[in-house]
Amino acid sequence: MNEDAKWAAVSENDSSFDGVFFYGVKTTGIFCRPSCKSKVPRRENVRFFDSAGQARQEGFRPCKRCRPDLLSYQPLKELAEKAKDLIDSSIENKLALANELRNLGLTQHRLAELFRDHYGLTISEYSQRVRLEKARVMLAATREPIANIAFDVGFESLSAFYRFFRKQTGMTPSAYRQTCQRPTGQNSANRGPANQSSANQISAEKREEN
């Protein structure tokens, strides 16, 4: 990136170059990030640096307005990441998860806005995605009873889990499991017991959905 491109970024307060380079103003002895909202200096008074450390070594002080010395510190991003980590690790316990999210120190509305801004999903939408993915993995890779899987992914009732899973995938949990675990090359002679088991499971599913 040449100095003309850097100067264009400074002139336009282009935040996309924050962290890519810094600029110092000779007349004030202060260095800034490209997005700084202070008055744009004269071109002949500007020096460019590859890092905040380099600017400091040259005797420049960090701007108190744009705080280039704190460029790597992004508290809002860190809070969004903490919320995501909590959902990933505590999805099976709604009450504990809600308490942990409250402990982040933001209102529910502000945290929801922050999460959506960083991940493009609401907390509810992301939580559902995590529950669905965990359920799919357990159904495909284990023989854990479906009731246990429902509770392990945060549902308080089996019927609620069935409704959720069918809405998201268009299949019942047992049908999804059969699709994933069906042996290849299975002949008709071996399908009798499996079909009987499937019939029993479908019957159970209908009872749960009702």
Which of 32, 36, 63, 66 is the catalytic position? Answer: 32
What residue type is assigned to position 137 of the chain? V
| Separation in Å, CA 143 to CA 3, 120, 140 | 62, 34, 8
State pLDDT tens for residues 139-186.
999 999 999 999 999 998 999 999 999 999 999 999 999 998 776 555
| pLDDT recorded at residue 191 | 41
Q: Count the Cβ atoms, other than its own, within 10 Å of residue 90.
A: 18
β-strands 30-32, 61-62: how paired?
A: parallel
Active site residue 32: yes
Q: What are the pLDDT digits (tens) for 77-122?
A: 778 889 999 999 998 888 899 999 988 877 888 889 889 988 889 9
Does the pLDDT value for residue 138 go beyond 90? yes
- What the chain holds in terms of domains, given with CATH numbers, is 3-70 (3.40.10.10), 75-125 (no CATH)
- 118-137 pLDDT, tens digit each: 888 999 999 999 999 999 99
